[in-house]
Structure 1
Amino acid sequence: MRRVLAVVAGSSLAAALLADDAAPAASAFSAASAGPQLGDCVIFSEGGAGRLLKAPTYWLKGSIAALSRQRWQLDRCPHIGKPAAAHTVADHARLAAAMPCVEPASVSVVDTLPREVEVTRVQVLVAEWETPWSHQHGTTGWLFRGQFLEQTLRKGALIDMDAAWLEGCEGER
């Protein structure tokens, strides 16, 4: 009987954790909102993967200093040729420069390429950040050793990026 209760309790706990993990992140730029605005507090984050034991989350926080809407030629994503965990900073920068793009596995979309889409680009005024400093802290991602891709992070610096990569700060403007 104890074993059955332990299994039921464990299953309930796992279901609760999985439900929390599957919930979409709150974003200030949802379909209900008007999109990003000048002065909005925004966060770029990566990491946090895992169900029970979460990997650390690294982030970059700032405010929108400028925004523009651009027409973008949608094309295939570059083929890096190695697993994501083995990507270098240069590989991440190459992929980021091509975004938004379409994975070659999307045959129906790839057949209709190229086509134009509208993207919103923002300049983020950097306020604070937390990045891994060694491979023991986290893998090389877009945030690593005090850098966002190939740009050194410092307070007051402007970083140009796609607005789709950002989330709004909770309760801040």
Structure 2
Amino acid sequence: MLPMRFVAVILALAAAGATAGAAELRPSARLVEADPEAWRAGRCVIYRESNPGVADAAFYVKGRIVAADVQTRRLSLCPQVSGRSIEQYTREEFNRLVLTHPCVSSDNYARDVQLAMIRLCVERWETPFARRAANAGRLYRGMFIDTNLKEGMEIELEADLLGACEE
């Protein structure tokens, strides 16, 4: 028969091993887990971005939450364009980067993470049209990444990129 203190040590080690293999929580997952009511279907949310060099310009997509889901994803290597900084990317190159986000700079950092994805039904939007905005954000010339925005369409964003709307 094992003494009780050994049983306690074995249980503690087993618990530590179980949590060590758990996926890391990203800020979006922590937000949803901390206040699930804030992310219920029907709530109004807004995604905002501003573009450098454009004074007082605020671009956005506004809509209502359809679903909120915490999921595990593998962070993989970010696509890179040799010899160019992100400011020099074409829109297509920038979109490839955004579609893999979140991603890592080296395979050494690849890992599983938990993130909260919010699916929202688009109601309104304002996007930049200036060429210099092509690689500055997800919104550009009436599009969300590589898809034309339409009222009633659904898009997904990480929870920590969204804010509550004024209704």
Q: TM-score range by the shorter chain?
A: 0.5 to 0.7
| Candidates 149, 155, 164, aligned match of 2:160 | 164
* Per-residue CA distance 1:58-99 (angstroms, 9 max, x = gap): 111111112222111123322234233332332232112211
What percentage of residue pairs aligned between the two structures are identical? 30
* One-letter code aligned to 2:43: D
Matched residue, 1:74: 75
RMSD: 2.6
Q: Structure 2: which 5+ runs fail to align?
A: 1-30
Matched residue, 2:57: 56
Is contact 1:41–1:63 with CA below 8 Å preserved after alignment? yes
CA drift at 1:49? 4.3
- Asked if 1:86 is matched to 2:88, the reply is yes
Q: Tell me, what secondary structure is at the counterpart of 1:96?
A: helix
Is contact 1:49–1:55 with CA below 8 Å preserved after alignment? no
Q: Tell me, what secondary structure is at the counterpart of 2:150?
A: coil
Q: 1: CA distance between counterparts of 2:32 and 2:56?
A: 26
CA drift at 1:157? 0.9
Query: So what's the TM-score if we normalise by structure 1?
Result: 0.64
| Candidates 98, 123, 141, aligned match of 1:127 | 123
Q: 2: CA distance between counterparts of 1:67 and 1:31?
A: 10
Is contact 1:48–1:55 with CA below 8 Å preserved after alignment? no
Matched residue, 1:45: 48
Q: 1: CA distance between counterparts of 2:55 and 2:129?
A: 18
* Per-residue CA distance 1:122-142 (angstroms, 9 max, x = gap): 22100111112232xx51132
CA drift at 1:55? 4.9
Q: 2: CA distance between counterparts of 1:36 and 1:114?
A: 28
Is contact 1:123–1:161 with CA below 8 Å preserved after alignment? yes
Question: Where in structure 1 do 4 or more consecutive aligned residues deviate above 6 Å?
Answer: none
Relative distance call for 1:76 and 1:55 in structure 2 (3 A) is farther
Relative distance call for 1:98 and 1:129 in structure 2 (3 A) is same
Q: Structure 1: which 5+ runs fail to align?
A: 1-28, 105-109
Instruction: Give the number of the structure whose alpha-carbon radius of gyration is greater.
Output: 2
